[in-house]
Amino acid sequence: MDKKHKGQKLVTKIGSLAQLGAGVSRDHGMVIFVDRAVPGDQVEVELYDVRKDFAHAQIISIIEPSPSRIEPPCKIFKVCGGCQWQHIDYQAQLDAKRDIVCQSLQHIAQLDPNIVLPTLGSDTPFFYRNKVQFPVRNPVDSSRILAGYYQIGSHELVNIKHCPIQPEPLDRMLEAAKNALEQERITAYDEETKAGTLRHICARYSFSSKEILLTFVVNTDPDGQGTKSLMTKLGRASESIVEQVPEVVGTAINFNNRSGNRIMGDKTIGLSGKLYIVEHLSTTDSQLPQELHKGLDFQLSPTSFFQVNSPQLVHLLELVSHSVLDYQNKKAKPEEKPILIDAYAGVGTMALWLSALCDQVIAIEEHDQAADDAVTNNELNHISNVDVCHGRVEDILPEIKEMIGTDPDILLLDPPRKGLSPAAVAAAIALNCPRIIYISCNPASLARDLKVLEQNGYKTIRVQPVDMFPQTFHVESVAIVDRV
């Protein structure tokens, strides 16, 4: 094999897509990851990062485009890193996401890829985001506020005006916010110098009420000098934004003066209007109970976790519901509803939804605001068979049997992207539930955890990829794991 070097130009065929979104070529004796490529493309590329076993390349020219290559609807797609796959036909995106899940399960957990079902596509592959988090910048020698997403593979900011994966009211909100902040001479935080005030413009959007909750993340201590003056300025900016964008029903300020890439700090206070919005979710699935057709309301605070795609979230909830019904139908006494533990419950979305199918649900959530929202949502929907436990999954799972006085039937796991900690995996195994439903946004950590479960008396029955993030490489998966 000829040794490859930076700057070398090659002609190659793209065979697949990698987990982080790049095209993959294996034509030249090593894996080459090609930015913005499509499986089936014949391209000329230039290597810009060469390692021992792989390289990264950029496309110089497309010799023969793939049948799956399409024109991206976003005018700044070529530079913006917010989306990676707008140039790929949607069905090809779904196929690639299944392939990514298959590869992770096969290579990491040695599982049969045939257990992976076709990806469940979204009815709304554009304008679906209910939450946005925009970093901000000041141009050199300017007080203008720029906000958007980072360029591909860098921290250079791409200033955006219109984004095709967020609802149109969020476009108007962002433009109004930038103008109002400039008017108040709010400075943007600089990562290198640690100077400046505003770090992020964040917003939540309710598809049911069409309302927006806007949050300014600032590089300030809540009790620091100058905070009162800053709040006065942000209060005036909020008034201007609400006047221009009536969908904005509340504004808040979040304090985060820590170094690093964490977006939100621990303290949030209201500036104007409401400190929450409400999302309503309901189903049309005839096999699910009538109360789910009527639907549930979920109160969402600025920092609480909620799935980013409300329309597709309903399909995810339906999918998990059928896994619960499937388990119940296989019981010796199917008339007895199961007892379910919802670990990493967030604002209680899964727990409250599944309460209609269960005798009892225990929801475990560590994050303070999310746990408070889960309690509020429980009361908001008048649900009596859900108990919210505030604490770490690792700490509470070992106490569950004593807490409820019996053995639970189903353990629902929906951890952060990093997956389960070793202590959480051990606690899950020790609980010995007949069925585990594992929801994951990271195929690699899912495969890692399934491997441990398989080594400890469980078998993965099936894995259903769900496209919660169209136009990106991200993929959600729902794994059904039964004790054998």
Which domain covers residue 19, as residue numbers?
9-69
The mean pLDDT of 258-269, rounded to a whole number, is 90
Return the closest-CA partner of residue 32 out of 18, 171, 356, 164. 18
Q: In this structure, are 140 and 263 located in the same domain? A: yes
The mean pLDDT of 257-282, rounded to a whole number, is 93
CA angle 104, 110, 114 (to 5 degrees): 75
Model confidence band, residue 19 (pLDDT cutoffs 50, 70, 90): confident
Q: Is the pLDDT of residue 153 over 80?
A: no
Does residue 268 belong to any structural domain of this protein? yes
The mean pLDDT of 370-392, rounded to a whole number, is 95
Q: In this structure, are 377 and 319 located in the same domain? A: yes
Whichever domain contains 438, its CATH number is 3.40.50.150
Boundary-marking domain end, from 224, 249, 274: 274
The number of distinct structural domains making up the chain is: 3
pLDDT of residue 411: 98
pTM of the entire structure?
Answer: 0.94
**Which residues have a Cβ under 8 Å from the Cβ of 397 and sit 6 or more positions away?**
341, 343, 364, 424, 427, 428, 430, 431
Q: Is the pLDDT of residue 2 over 80?
A: no
Whichever domain contains 42, its CATH number is 2.40.50.140
Q: In this structure, are 150 and 190 located in the same domain? A: yes
Q: Is the pLDDT of residue 318 over 90?
A: yes
pLDDT of residue 259: 84
Q: In this structure, are 365 and 412 located in the same domain? A: yes
Q: In this structure, are 374 and 441 located in the same domain? A: yes
Q: Which residues are annotated as catalytic?
A: 441
Q: Which two tokens stand for residue 63?
A: 């010799």
Q: In this structure, are 332 and 463 located in the same domain? A: yes
The mean pLDDT of 427-440, rounded to a whole number, is 97
Query: How far apart (Å, rounded) are the C-alpha atoms in residues 214 and 301?
Result: 10
Q: Which two tokens stand for residue 376?
A: 């509020």
Amino acid at 308: V
Q: Is the pLDDT of residue 333 over 90?
A: no
Q: In this structure, are 375 and 228 located in the same domain? A: no
Does residue 203 belong to any structural domain of this protein? yes
Model confidence band, residue 1 (pLDDT cutoffs 50, 70, 90): low
Q: In this structure, are 392 and 330 located in the same domain? A: yes
Return the closest-CA partner of residue 277 out of 124, 131, 168, 174. 131
